[in-house]
Structure 1
Amino acid sequence: MSLLKIRNLSVEFTTSAGPFRAVDSVDVDVEAGEILAIVGESGSGKSVSMLAAMGLLPWTATVTADELLFDGKDLRKMSAKQRRRIIGKDMSMIFQEPMSSLNPCFTVGFQIKEALKIHMDLDRAGRQRRAEELFEMVGIPDPKKRLSAFPHQLSGGMNQRVMIAMAIACRPRLLIADEPTTALDVTIQAQILDLLTGLQSETGMGLILITHDMGVVAETAERVAVQYAGQKVEDQPVGDLFREPHHPYTAALLAALPERATERRLPTIPGMVPGAFDRPQGCLFSPRCKLADDRCRTVEPPVMGPELGRARCHYPLNAKAEESA
């Protein structure tokens, strides 16, 4: 049984100009101990889909799903009180911007101990010991002193480590890391990724890594889900995806990697991601796809089987090779 199982998840936001569908019929499966990467351009619905699973979207969002299960429990049927017992404890999230996620009015120690007070049966001394232990785990030097610091007194890398410490404070079974290395220098990026994968290996938790960095995916993930304009367009083990992508969008992303470039100029994907009110009738990638024909432009593509990477495409790449194998 999957630790997290989502089927046909859609998210619509109410705007003054009308409804905007940010996530469109997305499926997600994560096993215990698995590292899943969700990749795609900005605006592809990566973060929104996971915030919907966490129940952290604003009132302007309408969330629908055929299934939304965590450890076999239906999150849709839970009361707010029941869901709060899971969110922050068994399901936890590292948010994209630590400086906007941490409260500037309270010390980082107060904020991490607040989570422990709500979810863990610890007295004040126990919460202090656990907070110091967590800061040591994430590599924050002199933890007793740092616990009394405010977020603005710490560097971006340190605040990111504080966020990780808060996320793992209650030993979650599933950790969602939303762009955990954004705005950090390369050295700190490597340290944060090593920290996350090390914690995942030690605790056996499931890890969802939201990123747009394919290099991070290649080094870290076991399986990759590719999203485009709110839809999942491919889902494969990481080695298979890099070796033989089946969706033209995935192939274009990989071709744009500097290490794969065969010419001096990096290849690019022409055009723009469709917005709220200019979504094509058929395949959402058809205006930018060099393989698109009239069928692609008018008929919504089906989702192929696992042998073709669950590609959402009329003409998946390498299909003939797969069929003859």
Structure 2
Amino acid sequence: MSLLKIRNLSVTFTTSSGPFRAVDKVDVDVRPGEILAIVGESGSGKSVSMLATMGLLPWTATVTADEMSFDGRDLRAMSGKARRRLIGNDLAMIFQEPMSSLNPCFTVGFQIREALRKHTSLDAKARHARCIELFEMVGIPAPERRLKAFPHQLSGGMNQRVMIAMAIACRPRLLIADEPTTALDVTIQAQILDLLTGLQAETGMGLILITHDMGVVAETAERVAVQYAGQKVEDQPVDALFDTPHHPYTAALLAALPERATERHLPTIPGVVPGQHDRPAGCLFSPRCKFADDTCRTIEPPVQPPELGLALCHYPLHAPQEAKA
């Protein structure tokens, strides 16, 4: 049974120049204890789809879905009070920018204790002890002293660890990590990823890792969902995706990895992601795809069967000849 199940999720923002669909008919499935990576270029709707799940989008966003459930509970029908009991407790998120997510007016210890006060029955002494335990879990030295620090007094890596500690404070069943290593140096990135995967293995929680770094995906994920221009274009186990990508966009992403380069210059994907006013009538990737024909440019592509990676494509790569016919 899926821990998180989303069907046909769409998010449309109201802008001064008209409506803009940032997420378009996306499906998401995460099983208990699974690590799912969601990858794609900036602007592909990765973060927006998860913020919609958390109920954290602004009033300018219109969210629709045929199904949006967590552990069998319908998120669409939940009252605000019920959702607040769930978010931060069973379902938690690590945001992309810790300095803009932490409140600069309060110490980091106060902010974690507040989460514990809202979602647990621990008394003040027990909440303090839990904060020290959490800081030790995420590798923050001298936890007693650091609990009294304000966000600006800590480094970016330390603030990211504080965000992780806050997210796991109530032992969530599903943790969403949105670009958790952005703006961190390489050594700190490796430490944060090891920390997340170690916590996932230790607690058995589900983990959604939002990233654009395919190297991170290869090292940590079990399954990969690829998004492009708001649509999910492929979904495969990580080994199968790296070995036999079925969507041309996925193949182009993998070909651009430095370790896969066979020539002096890295291959690139020509063109840009379509925006609000230049979305093609057919496949959204068709203006940049070397395999595209008139069918691709004029007719919306079908979703291929699981054995072809659920690729959103008229002509999936590495397909049997009979499937192409």
Under a length normalisation based on structure 2, what TM-score does the superposition of the two structures give? 0.99
How does 1:147-226 map onto structure 2 within 5 Å?
147-226=147-226
Gaps of 5+ in 1: none
After superposing the two structures, state which structure 1 stretch, 313-322 or 299-308, moved more: 313-322
Residue matched to 1:246:
246
Residue matched to 1:237:
237
- Mapped to 2, the partners of 1:107 and 1:171 lie a distance apart of 22
The alignment status of 1:291 with 2:291, answered yes or no, reads yes
- Mapped to 2, the partners of 1:195 and 1:40 lie a distance apart of 23
Query: Shift of the alpha carbon at 1:112?
Result: 0.4
CA contact (8 A) 1:5 1:70 kept: yes
Residue matched to 2:73:
73
CA contact (8 A) 1:256 1:268 kept: yes
The alignment status of 1:59 with 2:59, answered yes or no, reads yes
The alignment status of 1:112 with 2:85, answered yes or no, reads no
- Mapped to 1, the partners of 2:228 and 2:299 lie a distance apart of 17
Q: Deviations over 1:61-113 (max 9, x none)?
A: 00000000000000000100011110000000000000000000000000000
* Identity among equivalent pairs (%): 83
Runs of at least 4 residues of structure 1 off by over 2 A? 321-324
Specify the code of the residue in structure 1 equivalent to 2:305: G
- Mapped to 1, the partners of 2:288 and 2:102 lie a distance apart of 39
Q: Between Structure 1 and Structure 2, how many residues are aligned?
A: 324
Residue matched to 2:125:
125
Query: Shift of the alpha carbon at 1:321?
Result: 6.4
Query: Shift of the alpha carbon at 1:323?
Result: 5.3
Query: Shift of the alpha carbon at 1:276?
Result: 1.1
- Mapped to 2, the partners of 1:34 and 1:58 lie a distance apart of 29
Specify the code of the residue in structure 1 equivalent to 2:99: M
CA contact (8 A) 1:116 1:127 kept: yes
- Mapped to 2, the partners of 1:190 and 1:308 lie a distance apart of 32
- Mapped to 2, the partners of 1:68 and 1:29 lie a distance apart of 10
- Mapped to 1, the partners of 2:238 and 2:192 lie a distance apart of 20
Gaps of 5+ in 2: none
- Mapped to 1, the partners of 2:291 and 2:78 lie a distance apart of 45
Specify the code of the residue in structure 2 equivalent to 1:97: E
Aligned residue for 1:208, secondary structure, equals: strand
Residue matched to 1:89:
89
The alignment status of 1:22 with 2:22, answered yes or no, reads yes
Aligned residue for 1:292, secondary structure, equals: coil
Query: Shift of the alpha carbon at 1:320?
Result: 1.7
Aligned residue for 2:29, secondary structure, equals: strand
CA contact (8 A) 1:308 1:322 kept: no
Query: Shift of the alpha carbon at 1:131?
Result: 0.4
- Mapped to 2, the partners of 1:194 and 1:159 lie a distance apart of 16
CA contact (8 A) 1:47 1:210 kept: yes
CA RMSD of aligned residues (A): 0.9
Specify the code of the residue in structure 1 equivalent to 2:121: D
Specify the code of the residue in structure 2 equivalent to 1:198: G
Aligned residue for 2:76, secondary structure, equals: helix
Aligned residue for 2:24, secondary structure, equals: strand
In structure 2, the CA distance between the partners of 1:246 and 1:38, relative to structure 1 (3 Å rule), is same
- Mapped to 1, the partners of 2:82 and 2:137 lie a distance apart of 30
Q: Deviations over 1:204-251 (max 9, x none)?
A: 000000000000000000000000000000000000000000000000
In structure 2, the CA distance between the partners of 1:322 and 1:200, relative to structure 1 (3 Å rule), is farther
Query: Shift of the alpha carbon at 1:322?
Result: 8.6
- Mapped to 2, the partners of 1:273 and 1:209 lie a distance apart of 22
Residue matched to 2:256:
256
- Mapped to 1, the partners of 2:225 and 2:271 lie a distance apart of 22
Aligned residue for 2:225, secondary structure, equals: strand
Residue matched to 1:139:
139
In structure 2, the CA distance between the partners of 1:323 and 1:19, relative to structure 1 (3 Å rule), is closer
- Mapped to 2, the partners of 1:280 and 1:166 lie a distance apart of 42
Aligned residue for 1:310, secondary structure, equals: coil
- Mapped to 2, the partners of 1:277 and 1:23 lie a distance apart of 15
- Mapped to 2, the partners of 1:322 and 1:245 lie a distance apart of 18
- Mapped to 1, the partners of 2:270 and 2:317 lie a distance apart of 19
- Mapped to 2, the partners of 1:54 and 1:144 lie a distance apart of 31
Query: Shift of the alpha carbon at 1:277?
Result: 1.3
Specify the code of the residue in structure 1 equivalent to 2:216: V
